[in-house]
Structure 1
């Protein structure tokens, strides 16, 4: 998601055109299973109705009524007007171009963008300027929707669009009220004159409503009045919450210490995997590496020493991790005129992605080893009651935001340690949703817990490379005081957590 989190009850974050809205409340829980595959798509709602019938108002009221539902997107059909030729622009500025006919909308692009968002992939939405009557060169990046509301006069017209909707709504409104609203809106927001608005309405808007828009009400699951519709909106939101509850998924406890939950054929718990089973790339255990890890594990280590040796260790890690990038033979001529046969990097794009907060500790080492490449970030935090990872913010490098370039991009994922593997799991899934190839992902961490979620990660994503400085054997269960929930913690002790031993503590707090 390209916006920052917005607390519930605050104004929505808008981007041009203003009908397109993204609301991030408290983050998105896992949308995948333990095998790394999607378990359900985003919930998609189509909202149609006449021009100025109140479609956008209904969509925004649904968003507000949903409250704490994470990441809701309102996607306006107006963004998908076709690109206009100079001749069409002249007609548009003279109010002589029909924007209310189905042919005015780039339906294949609308369907493609909506299908990507529904399938939990990223999409790049076109931006349309009403003042210029033209689609702009820029696009807006969207990712991570739980609920998508597609609204527009033709939202229910195209069969391919209707096939994507989980719920279809038609907003019905009196014609006189729609005309009054349209005049007020176009004068205030689009700089139009009243005479031009009336001419356009009589020539294009009213005939289009009678011929194309109103007949689509027969496809609606529910018809909502254009005003005084609070009861209808509450019924819709109740249905949405029920559908999202059925799609929810929680499995962090099962991947935290998998050998305690995965049973063998005899019914007993399976033993923790061996290092050979995990197929990790571990930094050679030299005296220098042993000395650095000893300093970092020391509870009495000063902050200054901690930062210095974290930088040293991360530099060594990334120098070791570069072996996973592709190389091709290259011959150069030395200063003495002799040929030297060597290798050169064969990667179109390279970038880094920090899993905040602790992943930031590796960023300086990454930049020292891999120069002049972009570094993005993922903000993933644990839910206070369930402990499940929550995707709060996605800020990825530009090469990853477009699928045609993402598939040729090599990504280094940076995190301090892989314990339960929940944040690592979500981060990898996000990159795959953007089109990054699984074998183009290199996950670099200081520590990996052998008895933690790494075995589930290796099973779900066998082609991802994992590079670490050391492997700790133990993951111990504990309880986080101060977080009590009668559903997940009926005894009121607190939320269950898992701690690596010997570990290095909470690196993100140093």
Structure 2
């Protein structure tokens, strides 16, 4: 029975600061992978501390992932567990680490896909069955004693760092950590250090220093940290994308060939518009009126969202099914054949469609994305994602139909980012059904349509124009749909 220990802080973490800007262009193609920093060094040299110093020093940054090599220790046999508790297992040899899995997870994160990272428990010396979901990093800090030892890992790094530290200080740090966090005895720590840790450092870790772009001291390293942060900021600036203005006013820009982008017709936009019955026209009249009571507004938003989701459900797959009716007669009907269905709302206004969605699809998972505009340039920022399991797991995502919910498509910037996030997770483009109350014909929907032609867009109506409602001296651009519904999230929730 292993001794009780203090639970160590999590090593694989997502540290979100100011959100992630677009990593794609207006054609929907990836143009910016995450920036990856590999940090190697001896056990106790301060690799994790250096990674966290970098995060603190970056200041106003997009989302950051710290990915630890410690999670990728291999699953042990019963005999290996006996050796591990007796301090007879070599955890510091390259063969103890699942390098293939390590490189695969890092490659997925770098290429803007989600990754399921193993969880290793040092108190039981075993890899757990559960895994940690990571996604959305613009910067990945990868740390571990063998982080620079394997060629597959080195090929993924944009910057390679080696943390150099005095051997006595590394041993002192290791003793303090293993006693406090891993419940080990000092004698066992020293025995393991002399048998395995020190030889491994001399034979494998220290030689990998030759691959480093920068060698950082294990203490008093503020100057080196600032150099690294300056380099990262410059590289991120070089990779930044700015195209929200083009989405808001596409007719003012040109195609890659130099010709003007023509204004699209409704047929070219390939929208599924709710039949404009008298009921639908009456609902929109109430919703568009600024004198409507809050009670009426909420009631008819829920009513319209229910009708929209019902109309959108025609794009789900159905299979033939014969049943016997209560009158003992046969009836040939249809049954829904989608393996997985879920809803994802773009917060906050997308939440106004959730009640209608749940009325149509009972007991299906619901997720959310928080996408907001940057205060200076108006570009979208991914601040938070909480996706259902059927989307987070790639083998399920490919068979999942997602109802993406947002109140309006104006410039289309938030919609564009939300679709890109789903595609990054392995959801098929043709399995995304975007449900919205209104679409601005003169806004970003033509670019959204050209980038994702197989996605379905179901809307209640199409408004003809956008108006630049930028106010004040902050320089932030705001577009309003005309005649529009106003700020639906504010009207629904406040």
TM over 0.5: yes
5 Å matches for 1:63-212? 63-212=55-204
Instruction: Evaluate the alpha carbon distance shift between residue 253 and residue 220 of structure 1 in structure 2; reply closer, same or farther with a 3 A threshold.
Output: same
Report what 1:441 is aligned to: 432
Distance (Å, rounded) in 2 between the aligned partners of 1:34 and 1:270: 13
Task: Output one character per residue of 1:141-196: Cα deviation in whole Å (capped at 9) or x when no partner.
Answer: 11100110110000001100000000001111111111111111111111110000
1:499 to 480, 483, 490: 480
Instruction: String of CA shifts for 1:189-239, please: whole Å, max 9, x gaps.
Output: 111100000000001001110111111001111111111111111111111
Alignment of 1:37 with 2:43, yes or no, is: no
Q: Residue 456 of structure 1 is aligned with which of 443, 447, 450?
A: 447
Equivalent of 1:253 in 216, 231, 245: 245
Once superposed, what is the RMSD of the aligned Cα atoms?
Answer: 1.4
Counterpart secondary structure, 1:124: strand
Larger CA deviation: 21-30 vs 413-422 = 21-30
- TM-aligned CA deviation for residue 264 of structure 1: 11
Q: Which secondary structure does the structure 2 equivalent of 1:377 belong to?
A: strand
Verify the 8 A CA contact 2:66 2:141 in the aligned structure 1.
Answer: yes
- Going from structure 1 to structure 2, the CA distance change for 1:208 and 1:470 (only over 3 Å counts) comes to same
In structure 1, C-alpha distance between the alignment counterparts of 2:395 and 2:246, rounded to whole Å: 35
Q: Which runs of 5+ in 2 are unaligned?
A: 1-6
Query: Matches of 1:379 and 1:83 in 2, distance apart?
Result: 37
Q: Distance in 2 between matches of 1:332 and 1:17?
A: 56
Which residues in structure 2 correspond to 1:371-450 (within 5 Å)?
A: 371-450=362-441
State the TM-score, normalized to the length of structure 1.
Answer: 0.93
The residue that corresponds to 2:465 in the other structure is 474
Q: Determine if the alignment matches structure 1 residue 369 to structure 2 residue 365.
A: no
Distance across 1 between alignment mates of 2:249 and 2:161: 45
Rate the CA distance shift 1:120–1:145 in 2: closer, same or farther, 3 A: same
CA distance in 1, matches of 2:255, 2:96: 58
SS at match of 2:384: strand
Report the alpha carbon displacement of residue 18 of structure 1 after superposing the two structures with TM: 2.3
* Cα deviation digits, residues 419-456 of structure 1 (max 9, x gap): 00000000000000000000000000000011110000
CA 1:70–1:266: 2 relative to 1, 3 Å: closer
Match of residue 265 from structure 2: 274
Q: Distance in 1 between matches of 2:457 and 2:436?
A: 8
Give, in whole Å, the separation in 2 of the partners of 1:132 and 1:265.
Answer: 61
- Output one character per residue of 1:473-509: Cα deviation in whole Å (capped at 9) or x when no partner: 111122133x52xxxxxxxxx4221110000000000
2:133 and 2:12 map into 1 onto residues whose CA distance is 12
* Aligned pair partner of 1:309 in 277, 300, 308: 300
* 1:17/1:127 contact within 8 Å kept: no
Judging changes above 3 Å, is the alpha-carbon distance between structure 1 residues 130 and 259 closer, same or farther for their aligned structure 2 residues? same
Alpha-carbon spacing, 1:186–1:425, altered in 2? closer, same or farther (3 Å): same
1:354-393, Cα deviation, whole Å (9 max, x unpaired): 0000000000000000111011000011111111111000
3-state SS in 2 of match to 1:384? coil
CA deviation after TM superposition for structure 1 residue 272, in Å: 2.2
Q: What per-residue deviation string (whole Å, max 9, x for no partner) do you get for residues 22-42 of structure 1?
A: 211011111100000111100
- Alignment partner, residue 488 of structure 1: none
Match of 1:318 among 309, 316, 332: 309
1:59 aligns with 2:51: yes
Aligned partner of 1:337 in structure 2 is 328
Structure 1 SS opposite 2:477: strand
TM-score by structure 2 length? 0.96
State the SS of the aligned residue for 2:470: strand
Aligned residue pair count: 485
Task: Determine helix, strand or coil for the equivalent of 2:76.
Answer: coil
* Deviation sequence 1:128-152 (CA, Å, 0-9, x none): 1111111111111111001101100
Q: Unaligned 5+ residue runs, structure 1?
A: 1-14, 485-493
Partner deviation per Cα, 1:88-109 (whole Å, 9 max, x = no partner): 1111111111100001101111
Q: Contact (CA 8 Å) 2:8, 2:181: kept in 1 or not?
A: no
